[in-house]
Each structure stands twice: as C-alpha cells, then as structure tokens.
Homo-oligomer: A and B are copies of this chain.
Amino acid sequence: MAPRTRRRTEALSRERIVEAAVELLDTSGETGLTFRTLTERLATGAGAIYWHVANKDELLAAATDGVLTTALRAGSPGSPRDEIRAVALGLFDAIDHHPWLATQLALQLARGSVTPRIFEVIGRQVRELGVPKGQWFTTTSALVSYILGAAGQNATNARSAVPHANRDEFLNAVSSAWEDLDPEEYPFTRAVAAELRGHDDREQFLAGVDLVLAGITAVHLPRAE
C-alpha cells in the first residue's frame, strides 16, 4: 500500500489535473478555479500544469467533458421515451450537482464541441420512436434545444449547497421578487409567481420533455396510439 502522506508527490497527470479542477469548481464555483489555486492544490508550479494541458479553455473543456460522460451514462433499458427522459434527467441532475456545468455547456455549445455528444444519444431514440428519416435532424435538434435550455435555466436553482432546506428559501425569494414586479409591465409573471413556491424542478423539467414528445407524436407520428 502506498504511503498516504506522499499523496502530493504522486505523479502529475492530465487526469489528476482535471479531477482537481472539477473539485475546485464544485467547491468554490467558476471564480474559484485559477491557475494559482490549482497550482496550490496540486503542490506544483504553473508550468507543470501547462505541460499536460494547453490552456485554461482546454482544462474547462476537459472538466466539462468528464462530468458529461458520467451524466450521459444513463442507459436504462426502457422505451425510447423512457430513454430520452433518462438522458434528460441525467443532464439535469449533473447540473444540479455541478452548477458550473450549465455555464460551461452554454459556452461550449457555441464552440460546437459538446453538441454531437448529446445529439447522438437523443437522436438514436428519436429514430427508435419511428420518426421518419427526413425529420430526424429537426426533431432531435428541438429536443436537445429544450433539454439544454431548460437544464441551463435550472442552474439558477442549483447553487444552494444545502440540498432541500435552502432550495425552498430560494424559491420563496424568487417568488417574492416576481410578485414585486411592476403590475403594468409584468401582469402574467406576477400571476404565476405563486406557483413557483411549491413546484418541483425535476417534475416541471420532465413535464416539458413530455410536452415536446407529445408534439413529436402529434406532428410526426400521426398514427401512434
């Protein structure tokens, strides 16, 4: 058994660096990850990190990629609809545990690196659903857009460290803020503000997935039961 006390002298590797980056992001947020904090955490110099990783963008991409891989490993053996729900929930929960993931996914969507990963997993199920080939692309895009958009918005709620207690407080605060909006400008938002208070993020997220699935059924699978 290797001596525990020598942990800081374990060989530096890309994996260890990315792992430490994820930890820093999880514990102290996006601003908490700098080359100084990382250097300190790994008890090394800045140059050592640059030997394994090209720059900070690549480091963030690797961190995102790692968490994403875990999240997409849903793979329950259900119907296409169940698979789509499972993948969507996997992403949702990943953002819940790693709030920085939402921002990072949004930033990297703009660089095209993440899209195919999610696209592939959802697209296979769209095919299984029986959507005609000519509609695969459009249909999958719509689903992926909803999933990423909704998961991203839920990142707002995901920052409370304490799982449930603070979440209720947080929803209360947002709900109150919405109720205080200008009645002239925000009549609708004020009317639904109260609904925020009791609502379950996951449930609502899934309800949206089902809504899109219902649209797909109505438009592209006219003879489905």
A residues near B (Cβ < 8 Å) are 99, 102-103, 106-107, 109-112, 115-116, 119-120, 123-124, 127, 136-142, 144-150, 152-153, 155-156, 174, 177-178, 181, 185-189, 191-192, 195-196, 199, 204, 207-208, 210-219
Nearest neighbor of A207 in chain B, beta-carbon distance: B138
Establish whether residues A120 and B196, one from each chain, have CB atoms under 8 Å apart when the complex forms.
Answer: no
CA distance A125 to B9 in the complex (A): 61
Establish whether residues B186 and A152, one from each chain, have CB atoms under 8 Å apart when the complex forms.
Answer: no
**Best-surrounded residue of A138, A140, A216 (most CB of chain B within 10 A):** A138
CA distance A102 to B186 in the complex (A): 23
Contact of A191 among B136, B177, B210, B219 (CB under 8 A): B136
Copy number in the complex reads 2
Establish whether residues B110 and A155, one from each chain, have CB atoms under 8 Å apart when the complex forms.
Answer: yes
Establish whether residues B116 and A110, one from each chain, have CB atoms under 8 Å apart when the complex forms.
Answer: no
Q: Which of chain B's residues have a CB closer than 8 A to the CB of A139?
A: 211
CA distance A124 to B192 in the complex (A): 11
Q: Which of chain B's residues have a CB closer than 8 A to the CB of A208?
A: 138, 141-142, 145-146
Q: Which of chain B's residues have a CB closer than 8 A to the CB of A138?
A: 204, 207-208, 211
CA distance A147 to B177 in the complex (A): 23
Nearest neighbor of A211 in chain B, beta-carbon distance: B215
Establish whether residues B153 and A188, one from each chain, have CB atoms under 8 Å apart when the complex forms.
Answer: no
CA distance A107 to B152 in the complex (A): 9
Distance (whole angstroms) from the CB of A158 to the closest CB of chain B: 9
Q: Which of chain B's residues have a CB closer than 8 A to the CB of A140?
A: 188, 192
Establish whether residues A189 and B119, one from each chain, have CB atoms under 8 Å apart when the complex forms.
Answer: yes
Q: Which of chain B's residues have a CB closer than 8 A to the CB of A191?
A: 136
CA distance A148 to B155 in the complex (A): 14
**Best-surrounded residue of A148, A186, A188 (most CB of chain B within 10 A):** A188
CA distance A136 to B192 in the complex (A): 7
Establish whether residues B156 and A188, one from each chain, have CB atoms under 8 Å apart when the complex forms.
Answer: no
Pick 26 A–B contacts, CB within 8 A, sort by A: A102-B110, A109-B156, A115-B153, A120-B188, A120-B189, A124-B187, A137-B199, A137-B204, A138-B211, A139-B211, A142-B150, A142-B211, A144-B149, A145-B146, A145-B150, A145-B153, A145-B208, A146-B212, A148-B149, A148-B152, A148-B153, A149-B152, A210-B219, A211-B212, A212-B215, A214-B219
